[in-house]
Amino acid sequence: MESLRLQFPALQQAGLIYLDNAATTQKPHDVIEAMSQFYLRDNANVHRGAHRLSARATRAFEGARATLAQFINAPAQHEVIFTRGTTEAMNLLASSLATMQLHPGDHVLVDQWAHHASIVPWQQACHRHGATLHAIPMTAAGRLDFDAFRALLRQHPKVVVLTGISNALGCRVELEPFIAAAKAVGATVIIDGAQMVAHSHIDVQALGCDFFAFSGHKMYGPTGIGALWGKTELLEAMPPYQFGGEMIASVSFEHSSFNQLPFKFEAGTPAIAEAIGLGAAAQWLMRQDRHSVAAHEQQLLQYAQQQLRQLDGITLYSAFADNVGSLAFNVDGEHHQDIGVWLDQAGIAVRCGHHCCQPLMQHLGVKGTCRLSVAAYNTHAEIDAVIAAISDYLEFIDDDA
């Protein structure tokens, strides 16, 4: 653990316990160095350049795409589209795919704990095309309701959007039966994998989905970069999302034709350094013992759940033994932001709010929650520090009362 933590410069700050990883992870030296080397040695625009800097930049950029294809076991490199992250990937699909698939009277399903980036683009697409958006409900126990999902499938939805791991709760979904059931009624299935990529081995072919979206900054990579994987036949049939340089084959004032995949969906100068950094992050993750890391993270989360349950006045939300990454809780009668400020004064970084999941918060009957989220570099001692700080807060409010 010590050698692992030393790979992350930000963690060397004295007095910092970083447990806000579901919002963004810290970056290892490998990622920072890959981006720095691009700017120090190879800074040039990619593709079509006649000079050596452009050739080196292009090799590194397309090498990152190849790495990501390997990382998620994509059948073909051209199926990996660089985006600014999961949010842009969802907007791309809701703009482009929706024009092909949605018509008046059609239906789209999105799970109840979905991030706003999954809900709002498809909500707006439904408004544009006269379709209806439905929420896949949760059970009373706090998991996604498979029986209710199968009932919704009787409406033969055109699109189903599933969140692999809830960013707000840490709940995971056994995606395979959901995907298989949706495909059986002819739906196109999109997976929000933003919270999956840092914690789970991803195999898009084994999943059987049609699209998979993820963000770099959730997997030890840079902000402002991510990727959308999609099946070739669907990507080729979809119209372009944005127009401009790189995505064209030919242009005249009378007519334009568009480039082949993946460039058809990558208008303009891309985030080259960020893409290279994302490739480095994927390589870093693939060098780790993913099984051991996942086991360590789950132990931390289970330990945090156990310790918080021993405190009076703590409410946990959908806290299951198989949760991944995140734990949501509140102190009874206290505003979640007050808890966040108190923890920050103890040097502990967590996130407090609605976590871009307002429909979920409405379902839970709260304005927001506190969320601690773990990564490979977190320790049991850091969880102990959180428990101690919350215990101090409980004593403080008890004395104040």
Spell out the domains of the chain, with CATH numbers in brackets. Answer: 2-19+289-400 (3.90.1150.10), 30-287 (3.40.640.10)
In this structure, what token pair is assigned to residue 255?
Answer: 């007519």
What pLDDT is recorded for position 401?
62
Of 377, 385, 380, nearest in space to 1 by CA: 377
CA angle in degrees (0–180, nearest 5) for 360-362-363: 65
| Burial of 45 (C-beta count, 10 Å sphere; 0-12/13-18/19+) | middle
CA 301 – CA 389 distance, rounded (Å): 17
CA 47 – CA 31 distance, rounded (Å): 23
Alpha carbon distances (Å) from 185 to 107, 119, 133, 178, 367: 12, 21, 17, 11, 36
CA 78 – CA 262 distance, rounded (Å): 5
Q: Which amino acid is at 309?
A: R
Q: Which residues contact 59 (CB under 8 A, 6 or more apart)?
A: none
Helix 272-287, helix 29-37: angle, nearest 10 = 150
CA 33 – CA 11 distance, rounded (Å): 16
What pLDDT is recorded for position 291?
95
- Model pTM above 0.85: yes
Of 109, 111, 116, 153, nearest in space to 134 by CA: 109
Query: What stretches in the chain show pLDDT beneath 70?
Result: 401
CA 232 – CA 239 distance, rounded (Å): 13
User: How many helices (DSSP H) and strands (DSSP E) are in the chain?
Assistant: 14, 15
Q: What is the rounded end-to-end Cα distance, in angstroms, of the chain?
A: 42
The residue length of the chain stands at 401
- Name the residue with tokens 């033994």: 321
CA 102 – CA 128 distance, rounded (Å): 9
Known active-site residue 356: yes
- Name the residue with tokens 């807060």: 393
- pLDDT digit string, tens, across residues 185-238: 999 999 999 999 999 999 999 999 999 999 999 999 999 999 999 999 999 999
Of 397, 400, 378, 394, nearest in space to 308 by CA: 394
Do 334 and 30 form a contact (C-beta atoms < 8 A)? Answer: no
Cis, bond preceding 262 (omega within 30 deg of 0):
yes
CB count in 10 Å sphere of residue 377: 22
* Active-site residue, selected from the candidate residues 171, 209, 352, 356: 356
DSSP code of residue 29: H
